[in-house]
Structure 1
């Protein structure tokens, strides 16, 4: 349904020539959810953005605006009058308005803040004081707050009166006169309450899971997965309620963190822009430094090979199995690293678990390495028809390489966490570079011992 409506909308945009078609266009727009409508805006030239935006129903316009990429938002703002911009800013939730201010250049920010009312400006400035990746930086201050001595009837009346401009009313937060958080009560509990004169303090849950303004946003988003919440309250150092983080923000955080980790795990500088929104220069800057670093790191492997040229000259067949051994080691290390990083990301693994990690990884490595060695030994003797001593060198190297690789893969992410470095940096490319060098050292030393080179 959405795809058909989007295609219809694009066709109508290309053939606008009378007022009747404008009304038809508006009718089609009303059938589309905000994310789908925003996708249409992303494909429009800058001059058509204000035209289409003015046709958006008022209750849909702000939602569409928040779904747009920052570059598209800026183009749209440039085409709106001050009155139209004020209408948009007034409809935005404070956290969305703060995100907008953070993304825009100074001249656009000045114009946005100039159209915001004093209360909104004050709240935006408050949120901007918190680190961007903290709970305070992603929270909204628009929440439903109740007092413990209110009755159910009074609470429902307060929700009807004030709930329209709140981010969510599914959970209402109970505070004392100093705004200290003392409990939470769900809308469900209020609606189903049989006695409308029952005080809120008897219905509320006093065991509230909350976070502080300085809590890392990734830790906050993990709490949503752990507890299944739709919103989590944010408190200051004195347990005063200052805002909430909602589930839509948590999903965005998880997506951003996952994208960042994937980029780092593949030796690419992270970017918050979609692929086709990045210029060739952006892509170059995100990749070239890592490639240069890894290329320089790989020279250690070349140094090892040069150091054992005599051994290779004596038994040239050893050269043929270098790629297989380094690939096996790199793959084993990457598997271990990815598993540990994932466990750390979801909270299953803590830095103090390192001894347990090494014990488990060493046993798994011996099983995996042994399996590879046995299969490879048969292949080398039957199909490659090489001498048994050389086959033994290759297979012993396989076992040692897989063992060492998986131990390194288990240690490096934990070490990174201890050093307050993102563990994702220690993933595939870096592990592979380290393992290549160590594999060659193991290979040639075993060859020297067993083949008497």
Structure 2
């Protein structure tokens, strides 16, 4: 609001197209009209072209400011074109070769141009083995492709393979930061927000957190119902109550470990749904080893510390067997639930990050209690 029209035009003239489009996308309608009114016609047209693409697509983060060359140019002609048009382009490190219909047919780096002879033809020295993305491809997939191939920029083509823009590495970093932040918020059971923490009002923060808290609180009532249904068993062996938090926490921690590992693998493309049974088999083996280790350590702790050091006669071998047997089964179930739910969510179209710690912990808590009381009934005869 403090900019004069002249100052506003000067700022817009200094911005690259994708940054100008980002500003237009974030501003209120009144400011957008003012911005577009003071843009030159070419930039206004280009901004409108970028804004027509769906949010989170490659087209929405690309820039149309790139250097294009023709295959029949000589190196000398190409360098002259770069000097003439380069100051207005976002990057000149990579130049793209197109035909008369703007189909992408090759690319070459400025290094290749500088080291070539002046009379060399572009079509003879350009790289024909291309990797390009389409305008409607997901922006996170585009960012991952840039990281995978160590590119500084990635060409964007339309359905007819015509070059319409490029995505640069600085935009990819912004996308990855946004996506990782969104996943972290979902894994913590918070509705994603695009505002920085200190700029988010108390009411907005409340609205982002309370839906999940309410859902998890209601789902946790099932855990309470399970405890209530075994009230007589707990009354007959009150010592069992003391180890409920440990069993539930251990199960939740094991489920969280598996879910976070699988979610990370899914986001990096290292795991696909076709690997479902391989992941289950691996987690089953890991869970068996972890469960036996935890049970052995817990048995020693129960006998040496709880019984002998604290002189608690209620901690018998049979009680320890109930607790340790429950621990092994809980760890196995937690690992299997933690690795399978994110993959199933991905399969049916949900974000795997939703199936993270809070959600899985609630499920595992209920399972661990059911296992606990079954063991108690079988071993202690409750």
TM bucket (normalised to shorter chain) is over 0.9
Give the aligned partner of residue 408 of structure 1.
337
For 1:422 and 1:90, the matched residues in 2 are separated by 39
Alignment of 1:355-374 (within 5 A): 355-374=277-296
Q: Give the Cα separation in 1 of the matches to 2:42 and 2:124.
A: 34
1:57 matched residue in structure 2: none
Instruction: Kindly indicate whether residue 190 of structure 2 is the aligned counterpart of residue 268 of structure 1.
Output: yes
Q: Which has the higher contact order (CA 8 A, sep 6+)?
A: 2
1:90 is matched with which residue? 13
Counterpart Cα distance in 2 of 1:447 and 1:207: 66
**Cα distance, 1:352 vs structure 2:** 1.0
Per-residue Cα deviation, 1:112-137 (whole angstroms, up to 9, x for no partner): 11111111111111111111101001
Of residues 30, 37, 45, the one that matches 1:114 is: 37
Say which SS state the counterpart of residue 383 (structure 1) adopts: helix
Q: Secondary structure at the match of 1:234?
A: strand
- Report what 2:355 is aligned to: 426
Which of residues 129, 134, 146 in structure 2 aligns to 1:224? 146
Tell me the CA shift for residue 345 of structure 1: 1.1
Structure 1 partner of 2:253: 331
Partner of residue 206 from structure 1, selected from 122, 128, 132: 128
SS state at 2:107 partner: strand
**Per the alignment, in what secondary structure is the counterpart of residue 306 of structure 2?**
coil
Matched, 1:100 2:29: no
For 1:383 and 1:310, the matched residues in 2 are separated by 28
Trace 1:118-133 onto structure 2 (pairs within 5 A). 118-133=41-56
User: In the alignment, which of 188, 208, 225 is matched to residue 303 of structure 1?
Assistant: 225
Distance 1:186 1:420 in 2: 39
Alpha carbon RMSD of aligned pairs, Å? 0.8
- Structure 1, unmatched stretches of 5+, are 1-77
CA distance in 2, matches of 1:420, 1:146: 41
Residues of 1 paired with 2:82 and 2:337: CA distance? 56
Q: Does 1:255 align with 2:177?
A: yes
Alpha-carbon shift at residue 109 of structure 1 (Å) = 0.7
- The correspondence for 1:313, drawn from 209, 228, 235, is 235
2:151 is aligned with 1:151? no
C-alpha distance in 1 between matches for 2:284 and 2:204: 41
Residue 63 of structure 2, aligned match among 140, 143, 163:
140
SS class of match (2:190): coil
SS of the aligned residue for 2:105 comes to: strand
What secondary structure is seen at the aligned counterpart in 1 of 2:71? Answer: coil
TM-score by length of 1: 0.82
Matched residues, number: 375
In the aligned structure 2, how far is the partner of 1:183 from the partner of 1:314?
Answer: 79
Distance 2:125 2:338 in 1: 50
- How far residue 312 of structure 1 moved from its aligned partner, in angstroms, is 0.7
User: 1:166-185 residue pairs with structure 2 within 5 A?
Assistant: 166-185=89-108
Once residues 40 and 273 of structure 2 are traced to their aligned partners in structure 1, the CA distance between those partners, rounded to angstroms, is: 47
